[in-house]
Amino acid sequence: MWETDQQMPTRDLAIAQQASPFAGHKLLLDGQQRLTSLSAILRGEPITVRGRRRPIEILFNLEHPEGLGEFTEVTSDEESPLNGEDDADQMEDDIEVAEGPQGIQQMLSQRTFVVASKNLSRMANWVNVSKVFKAESDTEILKEAGVRSFEEPNFAKYTARLQRLRKIRDYPYVMQLLERGLDYEEVAEIFVRVNSLGVKLRGSDLALALITSRWQNSLHLLEEFQSECEDKWFTLDLGLLVRAMVVFASRQSRFKTVGSIPIDRLKSGWEQAKEGLRFSINFLRSNAQIEDESLLSSPFLVIPIAVLSQLRSCKLSREEERDILHWLHIANARGRYSRGSSETLLDEDLAALFRGSTPKDLIGTVRQQFGRLTLEPSEFEGRGARSPLFSLVFLALRAAGAKDWQSGLGISLTHQGKLHFIQYHHIFPKSLLKDKYEKSEINEIANMAFISGDTNRRLGNKEPSTYFPQILKERGEEALLSQAVPVQPALHSIAQFRDFLKIRRQLLCELVNRHIERASAA
């Protein structure tokens, strides 16, 4: 925490306390997620996480072994509609675990806490932690665990373990307090050095704390706009909103001077940032057909478009519209802002725009950085779902008319109904390629198609030579060609997997280059 003389607005019900030591005196800079989660648990409430469809529930094992056992942890808050794992492959992984030396049930029995699942929730020895903290007595919990009388053998053990669980309330949590005399750079350096584990403090976190401590109600304004964006299927991180505000207030993206920017300039910058971001989101959805932020290799890509829109008073010429779309596609595919020097590169582009440069000049900068704008098949080798090319392949396939192999629906991230959610599917299942080919080859983009979750489950872990004939019979060659999948039967066997990858890399490369070229000629 960092002491401040300013009052600070707090998030409603984020961390419930009888008397708050935070509000108005200290800024909580690190540990917010942990404190929020712990606070929800102690209040007996499920943990609701932004971007996650269902609340997180934690289960406690009444039959856990004594001492420290195995543990699992929620490592990601977000569920991307595109980057999800194959359902069929995940089921196969679970089967492999279950058939291992211990078996799934024996493995879980060694854990004290796990993230809840439907199957475990139905087992008597696993109890909901929120329910334990909410209950006034253990009677109902013990009944559900199969203990009907205090004379039963498990009564004493289960009661003692539930009491020990509730003593989490009494644990003394250490708070590190930084004095108000420290400046921005000193505080940032301290947190970078101290927080070497867990989620690292970002520059935007510290900048947000500084802004909200000086500008009352600013946090509410940021979150209100964030919700507005989510209504249009775009989830923009608070840190990005703060950065956009700083860009319009100071004409650069770094946070070092945020503490000295006058409040009036921050307020003016925020109004410009909102209008610019609205334009940028509309442009991404309508002109680039980018329906979701997960299709961007970096969220920074929305900022230059926002800046250009405000510099032009939201009146782009036809040439500027075409060029900024061209720039967006190549900067996204090349990962312009996905590298270690992302802030430097963003500032370079912003400085050019504020000097009066055009989108065509931004294209020239990308060409200078990468040598050329078109892609080569070799650039697809070993590239998987985390590559900037991944989202561009999806966009190019969708623009080319790719459809689900069962329903015939065009691929989209906005389909209604769980069965129609688009997933990436390993054309050659991982389970069949394991131990035969390199992991980088198995998870390569060239081994992926985009189909619905329902179709994915139906295909399971079949070899393409088994399930492609049925697709060809029902939907014709266009079903495969629209996904840039070679139709030659000789390439559809496990033995010819590397030949399949080589041909498909070429097809994907041609498809993506045509997609970029069409954008530049639109």
302 and 400 assigned to the same domain: no
pLDDT bin (cut points 50, 70, 90) of residue 284 is very high
For 77-222, where are the E strands, in sequence order? 113-115, 126-128
181: in domain: no
67 and 158 assigned to the same domain: yes
21 and 163 assigned to the same domain: yes
| Secondary structure of residue 423 in the 3-state scheme | strand
The tally of domains found in the chain comes to 3
**Distance between CA atoms of residues 522 and 519, nearest Å:** 5
Place of tokens 């198609």: 449
**Distance between CA atoms of residues 55 and 69, nearest Å:** 25
194: in domain: no
Show which of 373, 390, 421 is a domain's final residue.
Answer: 373
183: in domain: no
Q: What is the mean pLDDT of residues 83-107?
A: 43
Name the most confidently modeled range: 32-46, 161-175, 421-435.
161-175
307 and 424 assigned to the same domain: no
Question: What is the Cα Rg of the chain in Å?
Answer: 27
Segment among 101-105, 399-403, 511-515 with least mean pLDDT: 101-105
Nearest to 452 by CA among 495, 497, 491, 407: 407
| Mean per-residue pLDDT over the chain, rounded | 81
126-177 pLDDT tens trace: 999 988 998 878 888 898 888 888 888 889 999 999 999 998 888 887 777 8
More confident residue, 457 or 6: 457
* pLDDT reading at 417 higher than 70: no
**Distance between CA atoms of residues 137 and 139, nearest Å:** 6
185: in domain: no
Q: How many residues does the chain have?
A: 522
pLDDT score at 111: 86
Look at the alpha carbons of 212, 218, 220, 221 in this order and tell me if their dihedral is positive or negative: negative
488-497 pLDDT tens trace: 999 999 999 9
179: in domain: no
pLDDT score at 134: 87
**Distance between CA atoms of residues 58 and 72, nearest Å:** 11
Please report which helix (H) or strand (E) contains residue 497, including its range. helix 497-521
Nearest to 14 by CA among 57, 38, 242: 38
Residue type, 472: L
Quick check: 225 and 241 in contact, CB under 8 A? yes
368 and 396 assigned to the same domain: no
Q: What is the mean pLDDT of residues 458-476?
A: 89
More confident residue, 7 or 299: 299
pLDDT score at 199: 52
More confident residue, 427 or 341: 427
Quick check: 501 and 382 in contact, CB under 8 A? no
pLDDT score at 200: 55
pLDDT score at 194: 64
178: in domain: no
Q: What is the DSSP letter of 484?
A: T
368 and 390 assigned to the same domain: no
More confident residue, 382 or 29: 382
196: in domain: no
More confident residue, 520 or 522: 520
374-393 pLDDT tens trace: 889 999 999 988 888 888 89
pLDDT bin (cut points 50, 70, 90) of residue 312 is very high
305 and 385 assigned to the same domain: no
Which residues have C-beta within 8 Å of that of residue 267, sequence separation ≥ 6? 215
More confident residue, 15 or 104: 104
* pLDDT reading at 85 higher than 70: no
Range of the domain at 306: 202-373
* pLDDT reading at 97 higher than 60: no
More confident residue, 481 or 95: 481
Quick check: 428 and 420 in contact, CB under 8 A? no
More confident residue, 88 or 205: 205
366 and 390 assigned to the same domain: no
* pLDDT reading at 15 higher than 70: no
342-354 pLDDT tens trace: 899 999 999 999 9
111 and 252 assigned to the same domain: no
Model-wide pTM > 0.95: no
Q: What is the mean pLDDT of residues 183-201?
A: 63
| Secondary structure of residue 145 in the 3-state scheme | coil
pLDDT score at 289: 85
**Distance between CA atoms of residues 193 and 183, nearest Å:** 16
Nearest to 349 by CA among 327, 371, 334: 327
72 and 148 assigned to the same domain: yes
Per the DSSP assignment, residues forming a β-bridge with 424 are 450
**Distance between CA atoms of residues 415 and 397, nearest Å:** 16
Please count the other Cβ atoms lying within 10 Å of the Cβ belonging to residue 258. Answer: 24
* pLDDT reading at 499 higher than 80: yes
**Distance between CA atoms of residues 408 and 374, nearest Å:** 31
**Distance between CA atoms of residues 370 and 367, nearest Å:** 5
**Distance between CA atoms of residues 479 and 106, nearest Å:** 44
Q: What is the mean pLDDT of residues 200-229?
A: 83
Quick check: 68 and 137 in contact, CB under 8 A? no
Q: What is the mean pLDDT of residues 429-449?
A: 91
Show which of 120, 154, 170 is a domain's final residue.
Answer: 170
pLDDT score at 273: 97
Quick check: 303 and 247 in contact, CB under 8 A? yes
284 and 298 assigned to the same domain: yes
Please report which helix (H) or strand (E) contains residue 364, including its range. helix 359-370
Show which of 151, 170, 189 is a domain's final residue.
Answer: 170
158 and 54 assigned to the same domain: yes
187: in domain: no
